[in-house]
Structure 1
Amino acid sequence: METSAQGDKRPLPGVRRHGGAASASSPLALLLALAGAPAWGQSLVELYRSARDYDAVYQGARAQYAATVARAAQARAGVLPAINLTAGASLTEQDLSTGDSSTTRGVSSRNVGINLTQPLYRPANWATYAQSGLQEEIGQSQLVLAEQDLVVRVSQAYFDVLASYDSLVLVRAQKLGVVEQLASARRNFDVGTSTITDTREAQARFDLVVAQEIAAANDLEVKKIILDQLVGQAGSSPTPLAAPVVLPPLTPNNVDAWLAQAEAMHPAVLQASRGVEVATLEIRKAQAGHKPTIDAQLGYNITTNPQNTTSSTPSAGKTRVGAASVGVVFNMPLFAGFATENRVRETLALVDQSRATLDNTRRSVSVSTRAAFLGLVSGASQVKALEAAEASSQVALDANRMGYQVGVRINIDVLNSQSQLFQTKRDLAQARYNVLLGSLRLRQANGTLTPEALDALNATLAIDGRPAVDSTATGARVR
């Protein structure tokens, strides 16, 4: 065991003796230590399909669309014929008086009939029927928006798990580097080539990394729970990015092209546009309150009366009357207490409101598309800058280690270089995930996002379903 500056003997975690020298655990040992790491294997497309059949929000949107389609079909009834079958029976108590005598008797009658009514001229019904088709299109747009939201939510949860896993691996790799530096500081103090300050600085950094490791492990578990609940699977296992990471290019690399697509295809814009048309048809429905209605009617009714009714002679037997009828019914409203006029004013104002909503939707979509485009371009540039920073940080760490060995650098310089390197690695991993998500958010912002867009992200994942691990002087890292 290594002896501390205070004289106690404490084993250094992750450090073992080889011919009297301490060395960090191998990358394989590090990965085996990651007991909480997921069993990699499921692609983004697989988990999305699982979420599509399980997610309550999306299932609710599908049910809402089904209800919208059914409600739209109901409007057709206003222009189709209505057929009714009627039947009835009645018992009447009659008091008959003749001179000085009176008689009480019960008289029963029965009737059955079938009647058809066909609207010939009902402007309000036809306007409602026209609205039903537009309402169905609005419901379709709402379902598309819900599907786009599900794609982004699943992808966000997927890459959150990968980012948390990367963070945990890097923290543990940094921990190995700090352990190695702590062992070196203790050895140097024992032989008198360094001060107690180096050992205490390394110990403080080690304690800090342990705290970061605990937080990273907890964050990974939380992110896994969120993904599991979203996709409806226990122990879901997202596949990491392949090494080397190749991000899909931005196509087209022109914000005007994305804006043109948003204006023509965005479901929210289409929904608001159909809303204006629905409101315009509502004006026609309101104005129909001044117009007449014309219906055609066709019917056949049979009435059976018993004998000795008041409508027959005492000697008459039971009567049966069958009557066929055909006709046209005209109805003209004359005065409704100014309700129709005020309804027309209301619908005119609602049309103005719908147009304002459409203008606001177009502006919001334009702003969101520009922001998403600029964010994606900036994210891609940030990835390139962090890749360069990673290489520079590695060179700086190697130089500080060499300088520490020859005595021109102190222990804190090496520890700071280690922290900078691993922080850069974490930032780089997160930046890559942000770019992948940014490509989806850009398509969501301009309304062109479909589940097929996940294929491009799926192509960036590791083919064999295993994390790409390489060995460096500071431990294992996920590229």
Structure 2
Amino acid sequence: MAVAAHLRVCILACGILSGAAQAQDLLQTWNQALAREPQFGAAQAARQADQERIPQSRAQLLPQITATGTAELQERRQTSRLSTRHSSDRALWSLSLSQPIYNRSAWAQYERAQLLAQGADVQLALERQALMLRVSQGYFDILAAQDALATLKAEQAAIDEQLRAADQNFQLGGTTITDTYEARSRLDLTRAKVLQAENTLQVAQDKLAALTLERPAKLARLRNPLRLPAPQPSRLQDWLDQSSQSGLSVALADLNSRAVQEQLNSTQAQHQPTLALKAQTGSGSDQTLFGQSGGGPRSLNSAIGLELSIPIFRGGETSSQVREQTSRLQEARYQLQLAQQQAIQQTRQYFSGVTSGLSRVQILEAAEKSSLDSVKANKLAYEIGVRVNIDVLNAQQQLYETQRNLSQARYDVLMNSLRLKAASGTLDESDLRAVNQLLEPSANANGS
């Protein structure tokens, strides 16, 4: 039958677009983006920078050692003639040690730095998940655009054949010129859609190339037939519990809230006294270390003791900072509540997207089969004069539109599955590997 031939043309076009040779799969695309994508590279650098907060804040709790050396030449002159009256030289060195013993503010800053470093780790994990989603979306956008283009070209070929049949029937006097006009109109519209589909494919390839810094050539396609997996666990409540408690966005908001609490503790501690051990040693050529005239031979002067510092009044600055950090803490807690609500909302959305999407795929698969039967029946009825040309064109349009919707529905299910994992904080490379197993076996073997 002609319809079967058109479907073979569609399948052949898909094969040409994807390539029969070594096709690049999802894992290979992911590895390219992981090594090259600028936004994720910037996130890695930011994470490394944030890790340095820990040694910087810890340094405020460790000994501080300072060495000082001074060499001076002193001259005394009379003011009347500026003649030299007396000159002398002087050399001085000293070594000082300061070890904090009690500094609650510095300790709170150290605790804050640890929380911020943990937050940087979580932020990097979030960026990694976001990159996985961008790569997967870009990959499937190309496949969807290729499917749409292939079905449109198959539809164009089918309409072109129907146009030739209408012309032939008109020449034989079996139909009116109306059938020819209808077929030609559909053909022109389909040609316009083909041009638009080619542009859509170009844009999708450009978006993926921006992630991998390499233009994609041949991409491995989904298996046919394909059985899409259902979400595991199958209960929505299990996903909600996971996302509200362990979602990465929630974890990051929680760490930020705790970091602001430590900043408030540090600010409040500025009202408290600090205690430090101070030690100093040194020598001067003409003076003792502590500024008194020695007058005798060079000597080594040392001192050790405790320094207690009690803040009394700083013009109200500390009290203002405490009020500021109290408001910052309230803001951070609201942000935590918002992150939990968003995680729950996204989990519901993506779980529903997977479950309803699976049902939609099943319905569209059935619709594709019935649409194919409709095309066959209408073509046969047209050949015997029971149906008119417009009936055949409508049946063909419905078939190819159903195929495009089915293709897009499958990709939507896969993307919603990955987004559901991301909302719950569990998306990792093993999930991409599982999706990669749904690709054609030849490409899959090369990619994994």
Fold shared by both chains (TM-score > 0.5): yes
Of 359, 365, 376 in structure 1, the residue corresponding to residue 343 of structure 2 is 365
**Displacement of 1:263:** 2.2
Q: 1:465 maps to what in 2?
A: 443
Alignment match, 2:253: 272
Aligned to 1:177: 158
Report the residue type matching 1:390 in the other structure.
E
Distance, in Å, in 1 between the alignment partners of 2:372 and 2:6 is 19
Q: Which residue pairs with 2:135 in the alignment?
A: 154
Whole-Å separation in 2 of the counterparts to 1:339 and 1:248? 60
- What is the distance in 1 between the residues matched to 2:197 and 2:322? 62
- How far apart, CA to CA, are the structure 2 residues paired with 1:181 and 1:24? 13
Q: 1:194 aligns with which of 175, 186, 194?
A: 175
1:293 aligns with 2:261: no
Aligned to 1:322: 300
Equivalences for residues 2-401 of structure 1 within 5 A: 27=8, 31=12, 41-95=23-77, 104-305=85-286, 311=293, 319-401=297-379
For 1:439, the equivalent position in structure 2 comes to 417
Aligned counterparts of 2:41 and 2:189: Cα–Cα separation in 1: 45
340-349 vs 210-219, greater mean Cα deviation: 340-349
Q: Is the 8 A contact 2:368 2:402 kept in 1?
A: yes
Q: Which runs of 5+ in 1 are unaligned?
A: 1-20, 467-479
Would you say the 8 A contact 1:24–1:177 is kept in 2? Answer: no
Q: In structure 1, what is the Cα distance between the partners aligned to 2:13 and 2:244? A: 52
Paired amino acid for 2:23? G
The structure carrying a bigger helix percent of its residues is 2
| TM superposition shift of 1:298 | 1.8
Native 8 Å contact 2:73 2:89 kept in 1: yes
Task: Name the SS for the 2:229 alignment partner.
Answer: coil
Deviations 1:94-120 (A, max 9, x none): 3599xxxx9612211111122111001
SS at match of 1:320: coil
User: How far off its partner does 1:29 sit?
Assistant: 10
TM-superposed CA distance for 1:346, in Å, is 2.3
Q: Number of aligned residue pairs: give it.
A: 434
Find the aligned partners of 1:267 and 1:106 in 2 and give their Cα distance.
Answer: 71
Shift of 1:246: 1.8
Q: Report deviation, 1:451.
A: 2.1
How far, CA to CA, are the matches of 1:103 and 1:197 in structure 2?
Answer: 121
Q: Please give the root-mean-square deviation of Cα atoms over the aligned residues, in Å.
A: 2.5
Cα-to-partner distance string for 1:402-447 (whole Å, 9 max, x where unaligned)? 1001100001100110000000000000000000111011112222
SS of 1:193's equivalent? Answer: coil
* Deviates further, 238-247 or 277-286: 277-286
What is the CA-CA distance between 1:34 and the residue it aligns to? 9.0
Amino acid at match of 2:229: P
Instruction: Give the AA of the match of 1:66.
Output: Q
CA 1:312–1:189 in structure 2 vs 1: closer, same or farther (change >3 Å)? Answer: closer
Residues 214 and 121 (structure 1 numbering): CA distance in 2 closer, same or farther, change over 3 Å? Answer: same
Change over 3 Å in CA distance of 1:151–1:103 after alignment to 2: closer
- 1:185 deviates by 1.0
Deviations 1:89-144 (A, max 9, x none): 111113599xxxx9612211111122111001111011011111101111111111
Per the TM alignment, residue 264 of structure 1 is displaced from its structure 2 partner at its CA by 2.4
Which secondary structure state, in structure 2, belongs to the residue aligned with residue 324 of structure 1? strand
Identity %: 35
Deviation of the 1:302 alpha carbon: 1.6
Aligned to 1:414: 392
TM-score, scaled relative to structure 2:
0.91
**Alpha-carbon shift at residue 465 of structure 1 (Å):** 3.4
CA contact (8 A) 2:357 2:413 kept: yes
Q: 1:360-387: per-residue Cα shift (whole Å, max 9, x none)?
A: 1111111111111112111111111111
What is the CA-CA distance between 1:343 and the residue it aligns to?
Answer: 2.3
Post-superposition Cα deviations, 1:204-236, rounded to whole Å, max 9, x if no partner, equal 111112111122122212211221221121334
| Cα displacement (A) at 1:265 | 1.4
Could you give the per-residue CA deviations for residues 239-295 of structure 1, whole angstroms, max 9, x where no partner exists?
110111121221111111001111221111111112222222222212222211111
Instruction: Determine the C-alpha separation between the residues in 1 that align with 2:271 and 2:205.
Output: 63
Which amino acid in 2 is paired with 1:81? P
Bigger drift between 23-32 and 173-182 goes to 23-32
1:249 aligned counterpart, secondary structure: coil
What is the alpha-carbon distance in structure 1 between the residues aligned to residue 201 and residue 125 of structure 2? 31
- Distance (whole Å) between structure 1 residues aligned to residue 15 and residue 233 of structure 2: 41
Change (3 A) 1:312 1:95: farther
232 and 259 in structure 1: CA distance in 2 versus 1, 3 angstrom threshold: same
Contact 1:276 / 1:354 at 8 angstroms: preserved in 2?
Answer: yes
Counterpart position of 1:17: none
Whole-Å separation in 2 of the counterparts to 1:269 and 1:435: 25
Q: Is the 8 A contact 2:70 2:91 kept in 1?
A: yes
Q: Is the 8 A contact 1:228 1:236 kept in 2?
A: no
Counterpart contact for 1:393–1:421, Cα < 8 Å? yes
Cα offset, 1:449, TM superposition: 1.3
8 A contact 1:248–1:457 mirrored in 2: no
Distance 1:395 1:263, change over 3 A: same
Q: 2:410, 2:306 → 1: CA distance?
A: 73
SS of match in other structure, 2:24: coil
Q: Which moved more, 1:159-168 or 1:176-185?
A: 176-185
The one-letter code matched in structure 2 to 1:416 is N
Q: 1:396 to 1:29 in 2, by over 3 A?
A: closer
Q: SS state of the match for residue 93, structure 2?
A: strand
